[in-house]
Amino acid sequence: MKLKKGDTIIVTVGKDKGKSGKIEKVFLTQETVLVPGVNQYKKHVKKQSEQRPGEIVTLSRPLPIGNVALVCPKCKQPTRVGYQILEDKKVSRKIRICRKCDQPI
């Protein structure tokens, strides 16, 4: 997956279009990301006892990765993620790069 925990994203589709935030958790099997403060829904909780009254709880639900775009830390624009392979002597490693400014993310 091209997005990781801690990346800054912006929502491109849906009711929260234009909102941004940092990824808190990535769900690989569902291909979704959880961003606090984005895609929030309210849930009504029934009264359990006298000590625990009923209430309305606000929850953040995960967003599909197709509905978000990574914000490049260098150029501050929403971008796609590319890869570049760096070879140092015997070790080669793959890094993520911004498709707009070609800088490492």
Strand residues in 20-99 grouped as ranges (E): 20-22, 25-27, 32-34, 40-45, 55-60, 63-64, 68-71, 78-79, 81-88, 91-98
Structure tokens at 6: 């801690």
Q: pLDDT tens-digit profile of 14-29?
A: 999 999 999 999 999 9
pLDDT digits (tens, 9 = 90+) for 62-97: 999 999 999 999 999 999 999 999 988 888 899 999
Among the ranges given (1-10, 38-47, 59-68, 86-95), the one the predictor scored with the smallest mean pLDDT: 86-95
Distance of CA 8 to the CA centre of its chain: 7
CB 67 within 8 A of CB 14: yes
Is the per-residue pLDDT at 30 higher than 90? yes
